[in-house]
Structure 1
């Protein structure tokens, strides 16, 4: 009998290496250009929202067409900083949103978004960022491929985002199911 392997309802998944975790930040062209040049961001006067899911970042940016979110940047963070963020309620907001497929249809499991405020923003811009890459062309290529019914090609451009290993206390704190 066929059994479908179900993705846990709330599981942290991200592109990652032994030392970094990739998040995505959508921003205006001016902010993106400055961030790419300096390899960090200026401290904003608002909450900074980071998506761990490439597909969720594409959705929130409207595939790079939403005003003020025309560019999507991949930001590689040091793991220690990322884990600090997950364990510091207050300056860090945790939100679970429905994961999206490439057409932005909600799926039956959730992806994590991290909102940074106050002290957390300072750590983010001054300490945690290891590199910043513009992935807007990939977001737009996927959108173009989908518009021409080339899902098989679009899927190949989506980054691999395996589960991120969490401690039991962090799982509980962020209400992850796995």
Structure 2
């Protein structure tokens, strides 16, 4: 199962990223990505909060100490998804391996599905989407799509503190809301997603 679950409203969707202080602090202050953020390398955005918590070890990994909620336009999100090619060929989506390989190598956006995580990091039986934005589209992300950047690091520390203290209900109550994101059926098919 590949549903997209996210925190979104009528116009925007929240994606999460983890950075070290050199990139995160200027971005938080400016409410957009500014140098030393690089526009020449791929950046990955994820709508799953708990997937990023697993990846960053609750903001404790080196270079991932700050957890950012990046609010982008839904139009931008769907533009990225429409430009995306799966990192692993799905025979239901791409029947011809060579055609998929050519599309993948030319793609401005890479789409990857990974097992979703529970509050305690256990693998769940459904997947979570990651969207890799290449240098060919990253200017759109920075200049056109990003609406706001919020520092979630204090919240992350609070949730993690509750978990370490065995207070799972308190931790769960503080999680950002996520619900199924409605995708146009044609787009869902090309992503191997559940519409």
Do both share a fold (TM > 0.5)?
yes
CA distance in 2, matches of 1:136, 1:13: 21
Structure 1 partner of 2:109: 92
Cα-to-partner distance string for 1:129-149 (whole Å, 9 max, x where unaligned)? 000000111111111111111
Structure 1 partner of 2:175: 158
Deviation at 1:152, TM superposition (A): 0.7
**Unpaired runs of at least 5, structure 1:** 1-8
Structure 2 partner of 1:52: 47
Question: Is structure 2 residue 28 aligned with structure 1 residue 36?
Answer: yes
Correspondences of 1:108-127 after superposition (within 5 Å): 108-127=125-144
TM-score normalised by structure 2 residue count = 0.84
CA distance in 2, matches of 1:145, 1:15: 22
Correspondences of 1:1-178 after superposition (within 5 Å): 9-42=1-34, 43-44=37-38, 45-89=40-84, 90-178=107-195
CA distance in 1, matches of 2:125, 2:185: 24
Moved over 3 A (4+): none
CA RMSD of the aligned region, Å?
1.0
CA distance in 2, matches of 1:58, 1:170: 27
Deviation at 1:39, TM superposition (A): 1.4
TM-score normalised by structure 1 residue count = 0.92
Q: How many residues align?
A: 170
